[in-house]
C-alpha cells in the first residue's frame, strides 16, 4: 500500500509524521473521510471545499491549491489500484515546537491514505443510545469544522460501547438533538423528513446533503429544524447518514424499538436512491 505524505508516495511502514507535529500534540489539524465507489470519488469537490473551509476557520494555510489537493486524492486511489475505497485526507498545522503557538509551524503536513472498502448493503440496522455528553457548542469549537480533535465524539462512543450498542447521539447545549459521533441524524414522522439545521452543533455532512437532495427530488418534504429527544423516541423511522455509515436505519434508541426494528419505507426508498447514485457523482479516476 502506498501512502501520500508531504508530496511523495511512500510504503505504509515509511508513512510517518513527526512527534513535534501539532496535529498530534494539539489535535491542530483538519481532515476528510471520503469514499470511492466503482472508481468514482464521491463528491470529491464538496469534500475538498469542506477541508479548505475547516482550514480557513482554524487559520491553517494550506500551501497547495484545491485542484492539487484533488489530484492527491485521485492519485492515492489510483496508485493503490482501488475501485471501492475509504480515503482519509489529513492536513495538520505542521511541525512546530512543544509550545502551542501556531506561528512556530511553518509548513502544513499533508497525508492521504486509501484503503479498500466495500459499499454497504444497508440491510442491517443499528442500536443506539443518547449520550450524556453534550455536543460542542458552536461558540466553543464549532462542529462544522472537521478538526482532528474528535474527543467529544470519542467520549460519547465510549458510552455507546459501554452500553453495548453501535452508536450514540449527542444533544446540543440547549438540549436539542445534534448528531451521532460520526454521522448526522434524520427523523421521519407522518411522511415528513426532519434533520437538525446546520446552524446548530452539527457537521454539515456531505451524505446529509445528498440525502436531502435525494429526498427533495423524490418529492418528500424535508425540514431542517430543531429536534428533541421526544422526536427521536416517537419517530416512525430514524436513520443516520455519513461517509462511513452511508445511510443506515436505527432499530433501537434508549431501549425504544423503532418501526418494529425494521427499516421504514422512506428510509428504504432513500437508501436505494443513494445506492443508485453513489458510483455516479464525483471525480472519476482515469
Ligand atoms: N458528523 C460527524 C461528527 C462526522 O464525523 C461525520 C463524518 N464525517 C458526519 C457527521 C457525516 O459527514 P459526511 O456525510 O460528510 O461523512
Report pLDDT digits (tens) over 72-125.
999 999 999 999 999 999 999 999 999 999 999 999 999 999 999 998 877 799
Distance 89 CA to ligand 1 centre (A): 14
Residues 153-166 have pLDDT tens digits of 999 999 999 999 99
Q: Could you tell which of 242, 244, 247, 270 is best to mutate to test the pocket of ligand 1, judged by most ligand atoms within 8 Å of the CB?
A: 242
Q: Please give the C-alpha separations between residue 262 and each of 27, 236, 252, in angstroms, as whole numbers.
A: 39, 10, 10
Which residue has 485521485 as its cell numbers?
A: 74
47 Cβ below 6 A of ligand 1: no
Q: Is 146 a catalytic residue?
A: yes
Q: Write out the CATH class of domain 126-277.
A: alpha beta
Q: State pLDDT tens for residues 160-219.
A: 999 999 999 999 999 999 999 999 999 999 999 999 999 999 999 999 999 999 999 999
Domain ranges of the chain: 2-116, 126-277
**Which residues of 148-265 form beta strands (DSSP E)?**
167-171, 177-180, 184-189, 192-195, 221-224, 237-242, 246-253, 256-257
Of the candidates 146, 189, 268, 280, the residue annotated as catalytic is 146
CATH architecture of 2-116: 2-Layer Sandwich (3.30)
The interface predicted TM-score (ipTM) is 0.99
Give the pLDDT confidence score for residue 120 in this predicted structure.
Answer: 83
Amino acid at each position: 500500500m502506498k501512502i501520500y505524505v508531504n508530496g511523495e508516495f511512500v510504503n505504509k511502514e515509511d508513512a510517518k509524521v513527526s512527534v513535534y507535529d501539532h496535529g498530534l500534540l494539539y489535535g491542530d489539524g483538519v481532515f476528510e473521510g471520503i469514499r470511492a465507489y466503482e472508481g468514482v470519488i464521491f463528491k470529491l469537490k464538496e469534500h475538498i471545499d469542506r477541508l479548505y473551509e475547516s482550514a480557513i476557520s482554524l487559520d491553517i494555510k494550506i500551501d497547495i491549491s484545491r485542484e492539487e489537493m484533488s489530484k492527491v486524492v485521485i492519485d492515492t486511489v489510483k496508485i493503490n489500484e482501488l475501485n471501492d475505497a475509504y480515503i482519509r485526507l489529513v492536513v495538520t498545522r505542521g511541525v512546530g515546537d512543544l509550545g502551542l503557538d501556531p506561528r512556530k509551524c511553518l509548513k502544513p503536513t499533508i497525508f492521504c491514505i486509501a484503503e479498500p472498502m466495500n459499499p454497504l448493503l444497508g440491510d442491517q440496522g443499528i442500536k443506539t443510545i443518547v449520550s450524556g455528553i453534550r455536543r460542542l457548542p458552536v461558540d466553543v469549537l464549532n462542529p462544522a469544522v472537521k478538526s482532528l480533535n474528535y474527543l467529544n465524539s470519542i467520549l460519547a462512543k465510549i458510552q455507546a460501547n459501554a452500553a453495548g450498542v453501535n452508536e450514540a447521539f449527542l444533544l446540543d447545549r440547549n438540549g436539542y438533538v445534534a448528531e451521532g459521533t460520526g454521522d448526522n441524524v434524520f427523523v421521519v414522522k407522518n411522511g415528513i423528513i426532519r434533520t437538525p439545521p446546520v446552524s446548530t452543533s452539527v457537521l454539515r455532512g456531505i451524505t446529509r446533503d445528498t440525502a436531502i437532495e435525494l429526498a427533495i427530488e423524490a418529492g418528500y418534504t424535508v425540514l431542517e429544524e430543531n429536534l428533541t429527544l421526544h422526536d427521536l423516541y416517537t419517530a416512525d423511522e430514524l436513520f443516520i447518514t455519513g461517509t462511513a455509515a452511508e445511510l443506515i436505519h436505527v432499530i433501537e434508541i434508549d431501549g425504544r424499538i423503532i418501526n418494529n426494528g425494521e427499516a421504514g419505507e422512506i428510509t428504504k426508498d432513500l437508501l436505494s436512491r443513494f445506492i443508485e447514485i453513489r458510483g455516479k457523482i464525483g471525480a472519476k479516476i482515469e
